[in-house]
């Protein structure tokens, strides 16, 4: 499962965008075909979108296949009815990877890291290994936290912008975004905003982003981590 590099790598391969159905929810997927090595599956954090992985995929110079997708209620994926259940993001992950040829290495951040671990719990052997960056898998007590600071902050987010240029200017001035790789921020503005009339609105509506944060301590996957038998690298 050696991950090889070569000059240019997968940067030159234009991704193919398609959709999969996950129990009636349309999930948008971006795939790059490759010639060798394990497939790399990238799962983003709550409130983000698959495009935020673009500079990582670019800088890997990887000649194997990659896949990245928008979680439900994010990016180009459908926005289902509330409430949010994090196990659904794990099922979405399995739907995305159903046609991927093993071995698959999952790389996830925050919500994305949790969804990979939970997908492996639901379907052991899906992954050959997982890189879990700041996985949101907490010990008990379990239950929703509507007053979580991130949930409160999400509810206050500005929901719409007159243009992508104005959105980029707005996010660039926010401390949480100011330190981002510029390519990731520009990708977020592309995939994290969707047309709505004459404006652009957040693809992940503030109430949904807040709901994801509020539900982060409810899924109980901590009690089932022993079922994950593949190698896991936890990054914090």
| Predicted local confidence at residue 3, as pLDDT | 43
Q: Is residue 8 over pLDDT 50?
A: no
Nearest Cα to Cα of residue 30 among 82, 73, 80, 65: 65
CA distance 71 to 49: 7
Is 149 strand, coil or helix? helix
The pLDDT value recorded for residue 14 is 73
pLDDT band at 74 (very low <50, low <70, confident <90, very high): very high
Distance of alpha carbon 55 from alpha carbon 64, whole angstroms: 16
CB 136 within 8 A of CB 114: yes
Tell me what pLDDT residue 178 has.
87
Q: What is the DSSP letter of 141?
A: S
Residue 5 has pLDDT above 70, yes or no: no
Q: pTM here? A: 0.91
CB distance 15 to 30 below 8 Å:
yes
How confident is the model over 166-190, as a mean pLDDT?
A: 92
Give residue 221's pLDDT: 98
- In the sheet with 160-161, reading across from the earlier edge strand, the strands are 160-161, 199-202, 193-196
- List the alpha helices (DSSP H) in 61-110: 86-97
d(CA 233, CA 231): 7
Q: What pLDDT sits at residue 13?
A: 59
Q: Provide mean pLDDT across the span 64-74.
A: 97
What is the mean pLDDT of the segment spanning 196-221? 95
């Amino acid at each position: 499962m050696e991950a090889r590099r070569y000059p240019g790598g997968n940067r030159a391969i234009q991704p193919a965008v398609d959709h999969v159905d996950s129990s009636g929810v349309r999930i948008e997927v971006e795939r790059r075909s490759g010639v060798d090595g394990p497939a790399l599956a990238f799962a983003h954090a709550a409130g983000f979108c698959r495009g935020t992985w673009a500079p990582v995929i670019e800088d890997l110079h990887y000649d194997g296949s990659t896949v990245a997708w928008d979680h439900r209620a994010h990016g180009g994926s459908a926005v289902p009815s509330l409430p949010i259940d994090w196990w659904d993001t794990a099922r979405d992950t399995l739907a995305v990877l159903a046609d991927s040829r093993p071995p698959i290495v999952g790389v996830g951040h925050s919500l994305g890291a949790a969804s990979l671990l939970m997908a492996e719990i639901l379907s052991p052997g899906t992954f050959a290994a997982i890189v879990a960056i700041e996985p949101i898998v907490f010990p008990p007590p379990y239950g929703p936290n509507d007053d979580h600071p991130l949930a409160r902050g999400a509810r206050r987010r500005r929901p719409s912008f007159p243009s992508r240029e104005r959105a980029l200017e707005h996010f660039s001035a926010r401390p949480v975004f100011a330190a981002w790789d510029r390519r990731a921020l520009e990708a977020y503005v592309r995939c994290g905003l969707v047309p709505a009339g004459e404006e652009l609105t957040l693809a992940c509506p503030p109430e949904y982003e807040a709901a994801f944060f509020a539900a982060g301590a409810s899924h109980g996957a901590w009690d089932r981590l022993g079922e994950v038998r593949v190698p896991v690298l936890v990054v914090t």
